[in-house]
């Protein structure tokens, strides 16, 4: 069980009183002051309200209490480390380590941060000059949080990595372990380097406060991960939201003719006005076939002049409200396939067109979507079933990240009893 050391007390040798003096508060009550700081921080990140679980986890981390956060994809887990990391850096000059398993997603985590919040990453895809510049910014206290792979951290101090040893780092506020389910041998994607991670962070870097983030931990995986984080059986240490975001409308069907059912679904009330749709298939050739099916069947309807309804939120254009902001024509069904067998250039152009709202439907294998942060994906359809419930939850989590209603449908495989 962790003792409740407050914000900055341990990390940089500051007391709560010193912290209050630094922030020129008129309120000596540390709890109240901390809460005000956290609320101000929320606005700095451009948000007006906390989402479920965010404030609880942020307050726990600022009190030095290790915490496991289990929130669905798109629920806003990044804020749970970014906001405390910012406050720790601002008030204590401490840095937060963020352990992230996918190098390709690290850059995304540090782009689009609000002015004044500084994230950086160290990974194998960087040149020596880039790494040197990050290490030097770290030493100068200019980095609020640093993203690093579990392998780089575990190998710190060896010739195989340039990750700095503790003497070359500012004090560490806390360590955030992203995709924390990888810590558990029970999880669907356990990574052996994760097992040594907490030990190295504790013994080599003196880390006492851990924040684990995951979207996909079952109860048994979560218990196992909590043990690794050192929170034992403390129930309050696990902050959990709904397994499936509440703004997602889920449905399922079993159909003799899936192609016909898909076209009917897309033309039906729920989906015909959706501007951005992902359709998951299990096989590459299926993605190409289904994308062609959509382009041909749906385009024929439009060509025949079958009137397509306007999306509910779109204002009718009159001469007075004439605007060039009409970005979406519900009669046009552009669809492209996406899978790992396509060239990198083709994949990039499909993703770019989808992100920009120029491409309405992406028919994809699971290769599409990892780290996709398009807030207004309005629908995810499983033409083929996901591999597991955890995978399903992760895949539908790509819809409705903006909190608005989004629609998800699964076509059951005929052999499922
Ligand atoms: N309090 C909030 N109010 C409004 N929007 C928010 C809030 N917190 C986060 N968001 C937005 O929600 C979206 C998802 O956030 P984030 O990327 O942190 O989710 P996540 O839980 O880390 O998802 P994933 O599991 O896919 O990594 C982002 O566009 C983010 O700007």
Q: How far is the CA of 72 from the centre of ligand 1 (A)?
A: 10
pLDDT in tens, 130-160: 888 998 998 888 999 999 988 888 877 666 6
The binding-site residues of ligand 1, defined as CB within 6 angstroms of any ligand atom, are 47, 49-51, 54, 71, 73-79, 215, 373, 375, 401
| CB proximity list for 180: less than 8 A, separation 6 or greater | 68, 212, 213, 214, 217, 225, 229
> Same topology for domains 17-240 and 248-411, yes or no?
yes
Q: How far is the CA of 231 from the centre of ligand 1 (A)?
A: 25
Check residue 310 and give its pLDDT. 47
Q: What are phi and psi of 336, to 5 degrees?
A: -135, 155
3-state secondary structure 203-239: HCCCCCCEEEEECCCCHHHHHHHHHHHCCCCCHHHEE
Pairing state between β 361-364 and 335-338 = parallel
Domain ranges of the chain: 17-240, 248-411
Q: Whose CA is nearest to atom 16 of ligand 1?
A: 76
Check residue 250 and give its pLDDT. 97
Check residue 241 and give its pLDDT. 86
Q: How far is the CA of 291 from the centre of ligand 1 (A)?
A: 29
Q: Rounded CA gap, 152 and 101, in Å? A: 10
- Nearest to 361, CA basis, from 263, 284, 269, 283: 263
Where the chain has pLDDT below 50, the residues are 1-4, 10-22, 24-29, 302-326, 417
- E-assigned strand segments in 301-349: 335-338
Domain 17-240 indexed as CATH 3.40.50.300? yes
Check residue 26 and give its pLDDT. 37
Q: Which two tokens stand for residue 63?
A: 């009190």
* Model confidence pTM above 0.80: no
Check residue 58 and give its pLDDT. 96
Q: Rounded CA gap, 208 and 210, in Å? A: 7
Question: CA torsion 137→138→140→142, rounded to 10°?
Answer: 70
pLDDT in tens, 272-320: 999 999 999 999 999 999 999 999 988 755 444 444 444 444 333 333 3
Please list the residues that pair with 200 across neighbouring strands. Answer: none
Task: Domain 248-411: give its CATH superfamily.
Answer: P-loop containing nucleotide triphosphate hydrolases (3.40.50.300)
ipTM (interface predicted TM):
0.98
- Nearest to 277, CA basis, from 378, 161, 369: 378
């Amino acid at each position: 069980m962790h003792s409740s050391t407050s914000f900055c007390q341990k990390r940089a040798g500051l007391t709560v009183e010193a912290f209050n003096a630094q922030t020129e508060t008129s309120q000596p009550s540390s709890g109240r002051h901390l809460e005000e700081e956290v609320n101000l921080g929320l606005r700095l990140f451009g948000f007006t309200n906390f989402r479920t679980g965010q404030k609880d986890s942020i307050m726990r981390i600022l009190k030095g209490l290790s915490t496991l956060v289990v929130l669905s994809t798109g629920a806003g887990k990044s804020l749970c480390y970014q906001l405390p990391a910012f406050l720790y850096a601002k008030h204590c000059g401490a840095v937060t380590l963020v352990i992230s398993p996918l190098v390709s997603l690290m850059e995304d985590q540090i782009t689009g941060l609000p002015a004044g919040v500084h994230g950086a990453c160290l990974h194998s895809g960087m040149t020596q000059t880039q790494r040197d510049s990050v290490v030097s910014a770290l030493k100068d206290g200019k980095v609020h949080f640093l993203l690093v792979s579990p392998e780089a951290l575990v190998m710190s101090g060896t010739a195989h990595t340039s990750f700095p040893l503790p003497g070359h780092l500012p004090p560490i506020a806390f360590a955030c372990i992203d995709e924390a389910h990888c810590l558990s041998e029970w999880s669907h994607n356990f990574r052996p380097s994760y097992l040594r991670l907490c030990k190295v962070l504790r013994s080599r870097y003196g880390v006492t406060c851990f924040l684990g983030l995951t979207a996909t931990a079952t109860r048994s995986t979560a218990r196992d991960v909590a043990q690794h984080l050192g929170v034992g059986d403390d129930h309050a240490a696990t902050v959990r939201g709904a397994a499936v975001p509440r703004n997602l409308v889920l449905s399922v069907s079993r159909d003799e003719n899936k192609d016909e059912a898909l076209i009917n679904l897309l033309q039906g009330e729920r989906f015909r006005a959706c501007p951005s749709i992902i359709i998951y298939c299990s096989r590459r050739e299926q993605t190409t076939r289904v994308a062609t099916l959509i382009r041909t069947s749906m385009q024929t309807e439009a060509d025949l002049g079958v009137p397509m309804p306007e999306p509910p939120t779109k204002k009718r254009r009159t001469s007075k409200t004439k605007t060039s902001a009409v970005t979406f024509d519900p009669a046009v069904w552009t669809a492209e396939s996406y899978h790992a067998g396509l060239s990198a250039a083709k994949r990039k152009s499909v993703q770019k067109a989808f992100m920009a709202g120029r491409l309405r439907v992406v028919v994809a294998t699971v290769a599409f979507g990892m780290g996709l942060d398009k807030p207004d994906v309005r629908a995810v359809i499983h033409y083929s079933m996901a591999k597991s419930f955890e995978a399903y939850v992760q895949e539908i989590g790509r819809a409705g990240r903006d909190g608005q209603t989004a629609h998800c449908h699964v076509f059951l495989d005929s052999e499922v009893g």
